Amino acid sequence: MLSEKLHQAINKQINAEFWSANLYLSMSAWFADKGLPGFSHWMKEQFKEEQEHAMRFFNYLVSRGAKVEIGAYAAVPVDWKDAKKVFEDTLHHEQVVTGMINDLYTLALEEKDYATQSMLKWFIDEQVEEEDTARGILDALCHIKDNSFGLYRLDKEMGERQG
């Protein structure tokens, strides 16, 4: 049986993943407004991915016979200085999420919950990928600097992201 501590912590993570989804949807809206449809598309895919993360945790709690409680979400930012700042925030946010997943794993170890440890391994690997992707795009934006043609080309590439 899932301990109450883990139950509450995973429930909190479900809500955090939905907050992440809202953050990326807000970034998608910002890019759309700035005339960068490729970046907007990429962020929309990221929004869907975060919803999938939330649902993985949701389904896990249900499968362990634990009730899910969806709470209210704090407002997300709506404006950024430029595309580079969006991806600095994205990378920073993913690093914070990595810390949350690590804390969950530490708790699962303390509670000797082997099933939760096993479930969390997928998320540990996923966070390596999430940080790497955000870092790669941030690097590209740093190289481009104020070159508008470079930004135009990168926007085209971002638009090719598959779900």
Q: Which residues bind ligand FEO (CB under 6 A)?
A: 17, 20, 50, 53, 94, 97, 130
CB 28 within 8 A of CB 44: yes
* Distances from the Cα of 108 to the Cα of 37, 61, 89, 104, 116, angstroms: 41, 14, 29, 6, 6
The single-letter code of the amino acid at 68 is: V
Interhelix angle for 114-144 vs 148-158, to 10°? 150
Question: Closest distance between ligand FEO and the C-beta of residue 158, in Å?
Answer: 17
Measured from the CB atom, the residue of 92 and 156 that comes closer to ligand FEO is 92
Exposed, middle or buried by CB within 10 Å (0-12, 13-18, 19+), for 94?
buried
- Nearer of residues 101 and 151 to ligand FEO, judged by Cβ: 101
Q: Output 133 or 144, the one with its CB closest to ligand FEO.
A: 133
Between 45 and 111, whose beta carbon lies closer to ligand FEO? Answer: 45
CB of 142: closest distance to ligand FEO in angstroms? Answer: 21
Q: Which residue is nearest to ligand FEO (CB)?
A: 53
